[in-house]
Amino acid sequence: MIQTELKELGLAVEEAVTAARSKQDSQLLSFTEPVPAIDPISFFANGFSFDGGRIFWGNAAGSLMLAGAGEACALTASGNNRFEQMESKWKKIIQEAIIHNPQRKPGTGPIAFGGFSFDPAKPVTSLWKSFPDSKLRIPAYLLTVVNGKHYLTSNIVVNQDDRSADIEQRLEKERRLLLSATTLPDGPFVSSKSEVEPLAWKQLVRQATETIKQGGTEKIVLARELRVQFSDKANVAPVLNALTDSQTNSYIFAFENGDDCFLGATPERLVKIEDKKLLSTCLAGTAPRGITEAEDNRIGQQLLTDKKNRSEHQFVVEMIKKAVSACCEQVRVPDEPVLYPLKNLQHLYTPVEAVLHDGYTILDIVKQLHPTPALGGLPSEESVAFIREHEHLDRGWYGAPIGWLDAFQNGEFAVAIRSALIQGDHASLFAGCGVVKDSNPEEEYQETNIKFTPILSVLGGQS
């Protein structure tokens, strides 16, 4: 990584042009500076015409928001060693980049933002055709809001025959557009919806419980799809706005790839790393919220002591604890879960804290953890094989890691659930649930219905 001294953007562009000419190859310049406050959703809305697509991230704590427009570079990787491929591609980009980022705040500078498919061994259908096994994008422009401060990072690929003055002119125009105030367009409205094969899905839950009872597998997470049609082409920015307003305690994410956009509001952190400190989350076991406080408390207390939900949860705790212990020291995991309340439902929640051993990166941890038994099952290989063979669904990026990493070994990935893939005037919504030996198909079906609610309601559908 070539770090430049504090300087003006124009001088940094000249330095990058000189570097491109001397190595006779393109040069990535990443320039970060503080900017006046702007709503990240307005920034996202302003970026609609930028090639490649837009990204959005709001962490569950509300302390970090990212909005990106355009694509400076894209990293893709496929197959079983996609995490390792990504790691080496990312390292190479960072090593060769010219980076001007004096304040080095997490989530600023050249970040790689994107996601992975749930299972690279499952054949891809036309539904997910524009989403590869994994893709991380360095956005052309990135707005980072960290602890209330706003930073703009411009990532520019400079070619050897570029002229500094032309680049500066283009940057000025695009930055002005992105940072201007805007009014959000109207959100989508659902004109019709259809559940994909609900009866066959309940039958599959029955089959999974039978398989579990025969031994060898203890938990299998099954998911299903709900398709919705909009009255018009859907605008994404107002959907993100509604998710941010309505889904507290959740990560709000969006990855737009060409004309398609995958977005959602997930409560499930996979891993966060900041200054070597690791946080992970065990989240599994579900109940609805009550209407009155008394009813809510009663449902919560029942959830905390319910045998079936506790077993669903415990499989996740044991697996995450083991995976984290392999790469970390000072691993701390409470003995008992607590409740994690969301707008429409509540979960059993156990946080995991640890300190990362030297030599490990966030992608190593993502590889170790994905899929946790909250999305795959236990044992992992057998449950994923069952899903691959029997589930009538192309999960695509649903249920898989989505997030970002920066050049300073910080990053955060969530598990992409409570999500939808928007494709013009229609969308597919996804929801799943942990099936254990005493799961009841009708109850699991109802659980997935509640899990559709947060995303369905912001898409303009009935809840």
Ligand X SMILES: C=C(O[C@H]1C=CC=C(C(=O)O)[C@@H]1O)C(=O)O
Shortest spacing between CB 208 and ligand X, in angstroms: 12
Q: Pick from 434, 441, 460, 461 the residue near Mg ion by CB under 5 A.
A: 434
**Residue 417: which of Mg ion, ligand X, none does it interact with, CB under 5 to 8 A by kind?**
ligand X
Our separate counts of H helices and E strands in the chain read 11, 22
Q: What is 280-317 written as a DSSP string?
A: EEEEEEEEEPPSSHHHHHHHHHHHHH-HHHHHHHHHHH
Answer yes or no whether residue 98 interacts with Mg ion by CB under 5 A. Answer: no
Shortest spacing between CB 418 and ligand X, in angstroms: 6
Single out the catalytic residue among 122, 135, 219, 367.
219
Residues 6+ apart with CB under 8 A from 364: 83, 87, 327
Answer yes or no whether residue 286 interacts with Mg ion by CB under 5 A. Answer: yes
Residues 6+ apart with CB under 8 A from 408: 104, 106, 109
| Residue 312, annotated as binding a ligand | yes
Shortest spacing between CB 434 and Mg ion, in angstroms: 4
Single out the catalytic residue among 218, 256, 268, 412.
268
C-alpha triplet 76, 255, 44: angle, nearest 5°: 130
Nearer to ligand X, 426 or 451 (CB): 451
Using the contact rule CB under 5 A, the part of the chain among 5-13, 42-50, 337-345, 434-442 near Mg ion is 434-442
Mark 202-240 as b/e (b = at least 16 C-beta within 10 Å): bebbebbbebbeeeebbbbbbbbbbebebeeebbbbbbb
Q: What is the dihedral of CA 277, 151, 7, 94, to 10 degrees?
A: 50
Answer yes or no whether residue 346 interacts with Mg ion by CB under 5 A. Answer: no
**Known catalytic residue: 353?**
no
Answer yes or no whether residue 372 interacts with Mg ion by CB under 5 A. Answer: no
| Residue 444, annotated as binding a ligand | no
**Known catalytic residue: 268?**
yes
Nearer to ligand X, 286 or 383 (CB): 286
Residue whose pair of structure tokens reads 């790691």 in the numeric block: 87
Measure CA of the first residue to CA of the last residue in the chain; give whole Å. 49
Nearer to ligand X, 12 or 427 (CB): 427
- Binding-site ranges for ligand X (CB under 6 A): 221, 223, 268, 283-286, 312, 347, 374-375, 417-418, 431-434, 451
Beta bridge partners of 76: 135
Answer yes or no whether residue 267 interacts with Mg ion by CB under 5 A. Answer: no
> Which residues are near Mg ion by CB under 5 A?
286, 433-434
Binding annotation for Mg(2+)? 312, 447
Positions annotated as catalytic residues are 219, 268
Annotated binding site: 312, 447
